[in-house]
Structure 1
């Protein structure tokens, strides 16, 4: 086994919402996935969180004081290590439909209205986590192939 595959680094699910009740509800729905859940109460906290721990997915509230969800998403998309991290925007059901367009324009992979169906949210999050794991496995295999090619070149 290669050295890249010996340590399983688990990436978390970043939950960003300014309302404590919403964070608690997200944690309750996602706890059964047994993945690290990282809380952030603002866009600023979210930006600090992604510097401390790898993130596989972001669940991001649209309406927050200070840096809103759209601004937070655009900052995340500018960072090399979070550029490709999928973002699911969460917004109130009574919000303007134009917000969905803004969300996708800001880099959202998906968009859900609150209150959300817990089964739908968990299913969507599971799909993104599976894609993340498959992507990491592809990277690990690519590194192994490069190492084998390097060693084969040394043998000649």
Structure 2
């Protein structure tokens, strides 16, 4: 079970990183610093992150180039990126950010509450996805050993209860996104999570006694 999500903060200015840490500390997640694009890419080689806050204007590899590298890697391509910029940009500059794979583009100085709220949405989605992966892996392992000491019916009941808890939390999050008029990217991610949950629920239902379940699930 994942206890805390990791959030990657990328900025070449230490004072900006310190400010981001102060704003996001209330989320009680693990904040990881990177002072360059190269350092960010190195961190992404070994750790999984819920979201990346990426400064656009950095010496050497800027935010756009860093994002392009992140999106080219299979391991990291789905991590949400929020661009932070102090540049007085026009529509073309903003479009370049979205084209590079950003889910949001925030100009400095930004409202701390708004930034914290946006990041919290992606942290929640990340946690729900982690829970879903854990339940899917548990299902795979339990079904692989269904001929062991535990009865398949008991395994399925336990998995169904665990999945129900994830479904309830995902439904609450989706309602919150609808109420808050959240970013379209966050809503789309939540919808993708719900589709995964639906698929796993159908798989479990198909294994229930009377629905073509595994050997031993039916009375003889």
Q: TM-score range by the shorter chain?
A: 0.7 to 0.9
CA distance in 1, matches of 2:107, 2:4: 28
Highest Rg: 1 or 2?
A: 2
**Structure 1 SS opposite 2:145:** helix
CA contact (8 A) 1:11 1:53 kept: no
CA contact (8 A) 1:13 1:36 kept: yes
CA distance in 1, matches of 2:59, 2:75: 25
Q: 1:152 aligns with which of 138, 146, 150?
A: 146
TM-score (norm: length of structure 1): 0.88
Q: CA deviation at 1:9?
A: 6.0
Q: 1:62 to 1:103 in 2, by over 3 A?
A: same
**Structure 1 SS opposite 2:146:** helix
**What is the aligned-residue RMSD (CA, Å)?**
1.7
Structure 2 portions without partners, runs of 5+:
153-214, 216-220
Q: CA deviation at 1:22?
A: 1.1
Q: 1:116 aligns with which of 110, 129, 135?
A: 110
Q: What CA deviation, in whole Å up to 9, does each residue of 1:36-90 have, x standing for no partner?
A: 1111111011111112422111000111111111110111112222111100011
Q: 2:51 aligns with which of 57, 62, 68?
A: 57
Task: Choose between structure 1 and 2 for higher RCO, CA contacts under 8 A separated by at least 6 residues.
Answer: 1
CA distance in 1, matches of 2:101, 2:60: 20
Other-structure match for 2:66: 72
Q: CA deviation at 1:150?
A: 1.6
Pair 1:142 & 2:108 matched: no
**Structure 2 SS opposite 1:58:** strand
TM-score (norm: length of structure 2): 0.64
Other-structure match for 1:105: 99
CA contact (8 A) 2:71 2:101 kept: yes
Q: CA deviation at 1:26?
A: 0.5
Q: CA deviation at 1:137?
A: 0.8
Q: CA deviation at 1:153?
A: 6.3
